[in-house]
Chains A and B, each alone.
Chain A
């Protein structure tokens, strides 16, 4: 069943699998990296659930999972820690996939949805709900964030569209819109008192703290649907990297698939932002890190997804320990990594 010969030299161990009418080809290194990431994700998840102000043993954790053991522990696991860990994991996956999409789209490894104003738009939407409508409940905030992010994305896409979208213009327009929205956000912030403003700014950096299982199903459901759709379009989308003409020659409907993938990418970012506020840089860093780990060429969504999950889990754990918002952790660490990428990308050429 497992046919590890490669009649063709792809420059690295390749695993080919054929059975019935189905077939698959992956590089051995990619499989290895993905397995490690998956294991790491599980380990971090368990660490996340069992550690904290009250440390659980694995036994207690196992018991709590099936509903046995002391009630307070079961509640702690099911109502606080498990949702938070799962949010971080799935949120990281969603953001990483979104980042993959936009980096492939802008043909710039450093293109990222948060640079391009989606985060700012989500923040604006949420701020309007929070400060103008005075509503801090989760559902309205989520709606505001999704709406704001989607509108921002649409505006950037439209403004950058000129017989098709070109990477550089997309990025600059995005930066412009992000700045514009930051101005609007600042305006909204000064209208309120210092206390409220501080809370709003803090939310603006992202946090998984206040989420529970009621938000979980819609979140996971939404992300699952989006990810499934991405999976169906991924290979065709990857052909866009060859240039529009070559991709069209291979039968890819370029403008249509670009539009669809932008929608899916925005949807994924918006889903996470709605749950936890804007989390910067993860969408940018995860696909880049994944590429370097797997030495893959071009789009590799599964690896990016796993990397994103691991990264955000880590960031959440770190943020909890030193009591700062998860988004601030990702900004500082992610931004640093981004700079390192910039420096290295230059050196590599």
Chain B
């Protein structure tokens, strides 16, 4: 089930955790070691527990059993500020305060590094400038976030997460509601980040994009990990049938060579 990822370093891991909501467990005894410096993507059908797992990894959800480990220590025993300097999160839904400008919102990402008297150091400023340049929103700096398009706004949130300068970045469905050009743009930005040393974990609902960009793919169903490893190893028609209940044909993507899934469906072409 696990491939070469077992040999990679991990800073972030879930160790036999049981997590759920209101006493109902979504996953039990779940373990995942996030390979350092890789781009891990979690996929699965609706309600398979992928978002729950991400939330547990990001410290938003406390496991009922087991622990989430960051740099060798239980993540809930660490100070939240310290965690925030290491772990960044792009949540599924965030609220932009009324009338806030792009620069202001991205600057908020510096909060874990600031203090009562250290509100805007040179480091803060350069981190924000870099984050905005990386996401290509520098010209939007003084615009109101409310006025931006969905794609632009998502890039602002990504910039905010980048400004945190966390070495591990967790992304909860970052490409929802974006049109395809922006989706690809964002995925390539994430790949750039990963290649310059960050560790990324993302929940994606698009299996093909996941297979194309992930270095380590995790397929979940009913709260359990069904398979994990490099996409070229694990993405097969049998896996897709088992996880998604879908008949498909897997063939190499004509551009990248990664496994690409084409559903078979019931109807025949007209």
- The answer to whether A and B touch directly, with their CB atoms under 8 angstroms apart, is yes
Q: Which residues of A contact B (CB under 8 A)?
A: 7-12, 16, 18, 21-25, 107, 109, 231-232, 235-236, 239, 241-243, 245-246, 248-253, 295, 297-298
B128 within 8 A of A: yes
**Closest chain A residue to B109, Cβ basis:** A250
In the complex, are the beta carbons of A251 and B111 less than 8 A apart?
yes
Of A10, A16, A23, A107, the most chain B CB neighbours within 10 A belong to: A23
Known pairs A8-B107, A23-B119, A251-B80; list 15 more (Cβ under 8 Å).
A9-B141, A10-B103, A11-B103, A22-B118, A23-B124, A25-B119, A231-B116, A239-B111, A242-B97, A245-B60, A246-B89, A250-B111, A251-B79, A295-B99, A298-B97
Residues of A contacting B143 in the complex (Cβ-Cβ under 8 angstroms): 11
Enumerate B136-187 residues with CB–CB distance to A below 8 Å: 141-144, 157, 160-161, 164
CB atoms of A245 and B91 under 8 A apart: yes
- Chain B interface residues toward A at CB < 8 A: 58-60, 79-85, 87-101, 103-104, 107-109, 111-112, 114, 116-122, 124-125, 128-129, 132, 141-144, 157, 160-161, 164
Chain A residue, CB-CB nearest to B114: A235
- For A21, the closest partner residue in chain B by CB is B118
**Cβ A297 vs Cβ B95 within 8 A:** no
A9 touches B125 (CB 8 A): no
Inter-subunit contact A297/B101 (CB<8 Å): yes
Q: Given the complex of chains A and B, what is the CA–CA distance between A297 and B83 in angstroms?
A: 27
- Closest chain-B Cβ to A347's Cβ sits at a distance in Å of 14
B87: nearest chain-A partner, CB-CB: A249
Q: In the complex the two chains form, is B58's CB within 8 Å of A107's CB?
A: no
With most chain B CB atoms within 10 A of its CB, the pick from A8, A241, A249 is A249
Asked, given contacts A7-B125, A239-B111, A297-B98, whether A249 binds B118 with beta carbons under 8 Å apart, the answer is no
Q: Is the CB of B89 within 8 A of A245?
A: yes
CA distance A12 to B142 in the complex (A): 8
**A235 pairs with B89, CB closer than 8 A:** no
Across the interface, B85 reaches (CB within 8 A) one of A7, A8, A21, A251, namely: A251
Chain A residues in 8 Å Cβ range of B160: 246
A18 partner residues in chain B, CB cutoff 8 A: 120-122
Nearest-neighbor residue (CB-CB) of B80 within chain A: A251
Most buried by A among B99, B101, B104: B104
Contacts of A246 in B (CB 8 A): 89, 91, 94-95, 157, 160
